[in-house]
Amino acid sequence: MAAARKTGGYFSAEDLGSFRPEWVEPISVNYRGYDVWEIPPNGQGIVALLALSILRGFRFSSHDDPLTVHRQIEAIKMGFADAHRYVADTRYAAVPVKELLDGAYADARRALLGEEAEDRKAGNPMPGGTVYLCAADGEGNMISYIQSNYMGFGSGVVIPETGIALNNRGHCFSLQKGHPNVLEPGKRPYNTIIPAFLTKDGVPVGPFGVMGGFMQPQGHVQVVMNTVDFEMNPQQALDAPRWQWMGGMNVSVEPGFSPAVAQSLARRGHAMKFELESNSFGRGEIIWRTPEGTLGGATESRTDGCAAVW
């Protein structure tokens, strides 16, 4: 408390004393027979689910087909537009999760997705620094876990003689009066950290996650589609070159992304940018279980993670 007061913060003993961890019900959509599970709002996992709900209405022939990537980008833009409009702490605002994930709403959003890039706006679903860990054992138990102070080192404030760094999740609050995610005492902000899980016909396939702020749901969409649509193994699904929507019409791609695909996307109206480094394109981990019960883990080259067996 002393550190917060000294640096102009607003923490009180009551804030910490009244906090209680909670078990939440994950939210999901079915993507070609696989149930994709995400953490509910105030997390941004719904962005990935919204995008996948749109994309499941298309058939995709290739991972690096320009039309495939164009549709992925436009779907994720729609997902972010809806999330930034509606996602908030459900204790303070009515977040229309059911309506957003309704199949009819996905159909309506998909109908807006054409051949050209557009600056996407939120729809109306209602009528009128990060660390990721996944683990699985021989008894069938699995866990998907993620934690972050946000923006590298959080607030940049470290309590003297403790090493405890305070986060800055309040950065994701809106200051727009009347917005469901507006800054209020005791309220949880829009949150970027979203551990995910994949099941098929009610049977666990496995946990997965992609670290990296607003890249997280974008990475989830690309990893799920690499696995389900393009039949990549876990390592291939993580290592495949990625794109990242940066807001507006701007899309960044990492080294190794097909120049021909990038050029085709640019002709569709996307403002393309090749980045020199890959560290901003997410850092993922996967454990998949085969129908025969074999566990397979993967970690990608963008991060310092590892897949270990014990």
For residue 303, give the nearest of 287, 279, 274 by alpha carbon. 279
The set of residues, in sequence order, having a beta carbon less than 8 Å from that of 260 and lying 6+ positions away, is 66
Extract the tokens encoding 218.
């974008």
Residue-wise over 92-128: b if at least 16 C-beta within 10 A, else e? ebebbbeebbbeebbeebbeebeeebeebeebebeee
DSSP class of 171? G
Active site (annotated) includes residue 294: no
The set of residues, in sequence order, having a beta carbon less than 8 Å from that of 157 and lying 6+ positions away, is 3, 4, 7, 9, 165, 166
Alpha helices by DSSP H, 210-296? 215-228, 234-239, 259-267
* CA geometry: angle 180, 17, 41, nearest 5 deg: 30
Start-to-end CA distance of the chain, whole Å, equals 41
Among residues 7, 68, 130, 290, the one annotated as catalytic is: 130
Rounded distance, CA 233 to CA 33, Å? Answer: 18
Q: Is 247 helix (H, G, I), strand (E, B) or coil?
A: strand
Q: Is 110 helix (H, G, I), strand (E, B) or coil?
A: helix
Extract the tokens encoding 94.
């009515």
Annotated catalytic residues are: 130
